[in-house]
Amino acid sequence: MSERVFFLPASRARVTEAIRRIEAMTSAEIVVAVRRVSGHYRHADYLFGFVASMILLGVLLFHPIEFEITTMPLQMVLVFVAASFVCAKVPPLRRLLVAKSLRRAAVVKTARAAFVEQGITRTRGRSGILVFVSTFERTVEVVADIGIDPSRLGDPWKQTLQALNNALEHGVDFEAFLRAFEGLGPVLSPTLPRQEGDTNELPDEVA
């Protein structure tokens, strides 16, 4: 399934409906944010461009046909630029050239910034949760406010977080993501049950 599925209006509407079902079970406030990419990976583009230009240099130097030496620098520059551009526009290739640890770190940093920027800390009970989806990195980062103690949620919480990431890690599976996401309701409700008079403090629409 294409990563673009997360950006389709119909998909975003289904996530919004899922948020409302979860919040009907718990006092936690759920926010979902989806981004195409969380980091800047120009180094991967330049690496691919460099390798392509070195391959071209080898061809120019060792091919039986003689090439005009004065045009070689320009040809190498053009190949470097073209290959860098291709890498930037082909996510699977770019992803292959970026270490998993770097991708993960970029998602964590961007998710925490989004958590603050979207005002998720402003709930009365400090019970906001951001589910941050970054499709290029194929990673889901869940950021919980201080009113939520993951240690009290136990293994079901950990298993749900793993299921969310599994839905993207080896290929985007939107249906699996939705199933895992809706699993937050039963996980949160025992320790954070919905209270009488609870109001919706944060937007349900996907950011």
The CB-side HSE value for 52 (13 A sphere, CA atoms) comes to 19
3-39+99-188 to CATH, choices 3.40.50.300, 3.10.310.50, 1.10.443.10, 3.30.465.10: 3.10.310.50
- Listed residue (103, 98, 179, 183) closest to 141, CA to CA: 103
Identify the weakest region by mean pLDDT among 97-106, 141-150, 194-203. Answer: 194-203
Give the mean pLDDT of 44-48: 94
Q: Where are the domains of the chain?
A: 3-39+99-188, 42-96
Give the mean pLDDT of 188-207: 83
Give the mean pLDDT of 37-63: 91
The pLDDT tens digits for 142-165 are: 999 998 888 888 899 999 999 999
Q: In this predicted structure, what is the pLDDT of residue 1?
A: 65
Q: What are phi and psi of 30, to 5 degrees?
A: -105, 130
The pLDDT tens digits for 1-45 are: 678 889 999 999 999 999 999 999 988 899 999 999 999 899 999
